[in-house]
């Protein structure tokens, strides 16, 4: 159903006193925050996915907001954590290990040696009076206490970063800053999204747009909790309180190695590839418009020749390039993943387009979000 466009949407807001608190915490505990340069495509160590690179090079978002989706938390919880004697650097170290589940990789991610990282984690455990990790020679796992802290730590670090941006931008411009938190899934057309965000930033100069990549389920969680303002996803229909609208429709295409016999044709039929080895996304991921593609494939055959399933669009492209089989996507999805050696061919008999849905929480909308929805409907 089309989304309504009226007055302010209720969401967790950053109050001036909290901005000051977080700015002071950040300054006192972490020192002057470094400004991270957007990584170049040749910097393999940055591990930036096509979404990040498309948005960074478009100059549309702050790179730090693309690292980890943080969806849950409240301002009172954040202040309680800092009141427990924890420092932001301890939380950053904890999150690095918690997400990597490996101390060596966590230290590399945090940019410090493993010994000081271990001391930082022990300090955090001592101040909280709990054990955060169950560590053996073969594995590192979060304890129940660690799992709960990870939820709050992500929220605190996200709010601290937002406070820093708010304070600096307000000091420079003297204007009130608006924030839009947009959730997306793998397979959302990244280059089109970059054009959309660029357009919004040109029209509304005092808006900061944060982009968070996660599964459909986590995006819905973010909408319900109030952390996200909107989400672009390959699925819809998530029950009461969530409104959705199909804003983008793109015809499906087949992608195959350029040496494949079918690559010599300008257009091919879905019925012509259904018995070929197919590479699709895993059905449990909610990524890359999997449910729509699955339905599309099974309209042509109840027994398609699916040889592999992936969790992300870049992995699908990799397997196609390696000759595992034929994939199905849209040209818009592949704008940011152009690779030599892969042929893209329209499917002439595809019964329907693949849709990208815009979801918001039911309620009233503020002006930046209303503008985002309006422009999403018309961007190409």
pLDDT over threshold 70, residue 24: no
Q: How confident is the model at residue 71 (pLDDT cuts 50, 70, 90)?
A: very low
Global pTM reads: 0.58
> Is residue 244 within 8 Å of 238, Cβ to Cβ?
yes
pLDDT at 330: 87
Q: How confident is the model at residue 27 (pLDDT cuts 50, 70, 90)?
A: very low
pLDDT at 175: 60
pLDDT over threshold 90, residue 257: yes
Instruction: Identify the CA nearest to 22 among candidates 63, 65, 70, 81.
Output: 81
> Is residue 266 within 8 Å of 254, Cβ to Cβ?
no
Q: How confident is the model at residue 172 (pLDDT cuts 50, 70, 90)?
A: low
> Is residue 258 within 8 Å of 206, Cβ to Cβ?
no
Highest mean pLDDT: which range of 13-22, 140-149, 162-171, 262-271: 140-149
pLDDT over threshold 60, residue 35: no
Question: Which domains are seen in the chain, by residue range?
Answer: 16-38+48-246+357-378 (3.40.190.10), 252-352 (3.40.190.10)
CA dihedral sign, ordered 187, 192, 198, 199: negative
> Is residue 56 within 8 Å of 48, Cβ to Cβ?
yes
Q: How confident is the model at residue 57 (pLDDT cuts 50, 70, 90)?
A: very low
Q: How large is the average pLDDT for residues 211-225?
A: 87
pLDDT at 170: 64
Percent residues over pLDDT 90 in the chain? 33
- Map residue 367 onto helix, strand or coil: helix
Q: What is the DSSP letter of 13?
A: -
Q: How large is the average pLDDT for residues 181-188?
A: 88
pLDDT at 12: 35
Condensed to tens digits (0 to 9), the pLDDT of residues 296-324 reads 888 888 888 889 988 788 888 999 999 99
Q: What is the DSSP letter of 285?
A: S
Q: How confident is the model at residue 64 (pLDDT cuts 50, 70, 90)?
A: very low
Q: How large is the average pLDDT for residues 79-93?
A: 69
Q: How large is the average pLDDT for residues 231-254?
A: 87
pLDDT over threshold 70, residue 351: yes
Percent residues over pLDDT 70 in the chain? 73
Q: How large is the average pLDDT for residues 260-288?
A: 81
pLDDT over threshold 60, residue 261: yes
């Amino acid at each position: 159903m089309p989304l309504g466009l009226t007055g302010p949407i209720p969401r967790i807001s950053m109050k001036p006193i909290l901005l000051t608190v977080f700015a002071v915490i950040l300054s006192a505990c972490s020192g002057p925050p470094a400004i991270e340069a957007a990584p170049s495509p040749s910097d393999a160590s940055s591990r930036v996915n096509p979404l990040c690179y498309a948005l960074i090079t478009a100059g549309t978002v702050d790179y730090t907001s693309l690292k980890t989706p943080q969806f849950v938390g409240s301002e009172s919880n954040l202040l309680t954590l800092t009141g427990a004697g924890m420092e932001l650097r301890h939380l950053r170290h904890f999150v690095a290990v918690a997400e990597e589940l490996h101390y060596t990789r966590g230290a590399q991610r945090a940019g410090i040696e493993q010994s000081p990282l271990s001391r930082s984690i022990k300090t955090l455990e001592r101040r909280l009076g709990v054990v955060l990790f169950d560590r053996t020679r073969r594995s590192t796992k979060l304890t129940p206490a660690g799992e709960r802290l990870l939820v709050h730590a992500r929220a605190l670090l996200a709010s601290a970063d937002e406070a820093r941006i708010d304070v600096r931008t307000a000091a420079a411009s003297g204007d009130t800053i608006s924030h839009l938190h947009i959730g997306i899934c793998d397979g959302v057309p990244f280059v089109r999204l970059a054009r959309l965000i660029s357009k919004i930033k040109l029209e509304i100069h005092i808006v900061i747009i944060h982009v968070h990549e996660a599964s459909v389920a986590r995006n819905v969680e973010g909408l319900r909790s109030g952390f996200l303002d909107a989400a672009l996803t390959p699925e819809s229909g998530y029950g009461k309180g969530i409104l959705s609208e199909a804003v983008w429709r793109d015809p499906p295409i087949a992608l195959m190695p350029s040496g494949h016999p079918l690559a010599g044709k300008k257009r091919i039929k879905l019925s012509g590839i259904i018995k070929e080895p197919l590479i699709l996304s895993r059905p449990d991921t909610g990524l890359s418009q999997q449910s729509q593609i699955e339905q599309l494939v099974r309209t042509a055959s109840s027994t398609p020749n699916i040889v592999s399933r992936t969790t992300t669009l870049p992995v699908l492209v990799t397997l196609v390039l390696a000759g595992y089989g034929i994939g199905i996507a849209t040209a818009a999805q592949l704008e940011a993943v152009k690779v030599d050696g892969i042929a893209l061919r329209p499917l002439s008999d595809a019964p329907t387009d693949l849709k990208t849905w815009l979801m918001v929480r039911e309620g009233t909308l503020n002006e930046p979000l209303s503008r985002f929805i309006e422009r999403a409907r018309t961007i190409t």
